[in-house]
Structure 1
Amino acid sequence: MANGKFIAYHRVSTAKQGASGLGLEAQREAVTGFLNGGAWTLVAEVVEVESGKRNDRPKLAEALALCRLHGATLVIAKLDRLARNVAFISGLMEAGVDFVAVDFPQANRLTVHILAAVAEHEAAMISARTKAALGAAKARGVKLGGDRGNLPKVARQGHAAGLATRQERAARRAADLAPIIASIRAGGVESLNGIAAELNRREIPTARGGTWSAVQVGRVLERGA
């Protein structure tokens, strides 16, 4: 039984849509059937006409942005509607958006396991190469080891990295909000209070899940939205 907010993403290839049985209506019916029976909200539906072999799909990027803005889950009818390669799924996971495939609901968890296995293998390979390089350096007489007494510097570096991560998240959210705010302005709303009210009317929460105020809108605009 489905619960929460969802953004539906449908991808169709016009040349194959009729013959494959994976047309737009079939995808809509599959998603509707999956969501039926729970306390769910379908916030938006995004349709893209594109080849599954390409990764640069603007409508999918739009759907992911909507998911982040609304705190929603991306729902698709079939797993192959999303991508046919692990690299793309990895990119999706890095986007910070949960997704579910109607025909294979376990794919979300399974994909994470697969990516973890791949990452673990790569980490082991990197570790092996690093050890080999250190061994070769030691054989050449290179003194190994670093300054272990400079903990304040390490702490400052950790703080800077955390700050950079927060700034990156804020910038990404501002970018997600940019087309939404632009559409609000195009409708004649220019004041910060007016934009905040419209964002609240559209049920788009703030980064912390609250309601918008003029001050918060101003901060987003300062970041380039």
Structure 2
Amino acid sequence: MEKASKPRSWKQNPEAVRSDILRVARAEFARRGLSGTRIEDIAAGTKTSKRMIFYYFGDKQSLYEAVLEDCYSEVRAGEAELDLEGLPPEQALRRLIEFTFDHHRSNPEFIRLVMIENVHEARHMEKMKRLHDQNMRAIGVVERICQAGRESGVFRDDVSALALHWQISALSVFNVANRATFSTNFGTTLFEEDGQDLLRRTAVRSILCSVLARPESFDPT
């Protein structure tokens, strides 16, 4: 009788090792920033060693860049799963706004990493061509929505995909990035469940009404 094959060991599964390192590194970089993070601390939280981290990623900066790319890839993959092709433009835009708001709210580490990279003047992202290409494809998604909206007469003729992407990001990022200071100044009401539902609806309404040719036709449902 043929023996059952043994399960692959951890070391025989490089993708699992890499994912584990990225998971722990994301939390460490988000908490401590690039300069404050130590590879020893990342290794302590993984199922591998400091030597293997260097083997997979080369150095700390390369690991940080891999974390950034991984985070943005998750966002872009989530957008792709929305299946916006064929939807009426206002419905596609609504779905994209809701996804972005929900994703950022659920992934504060991603927002902290974006803030950290802004502190570094985006000098790491500047040289990451694959990341740049991914993000430009995201603008392409918004442009297709805008084009459909303009051609159907639903959107204004001067709607800009880049400005629209900026609007969606601005509302969704601020909700996470400024939570601590906003709560300290004004209380936590908006960050409780009902408050977040209100902000989500407000984001949809304000952005859609800013692009609709007839904003009075906006349907809040």
TM-score (norm 2): 0.29
Structure with the greater alpha carbon radius of gyration: 1
Task: Please state which structure has a larger fraction of its residues in strand.
Answer: 1
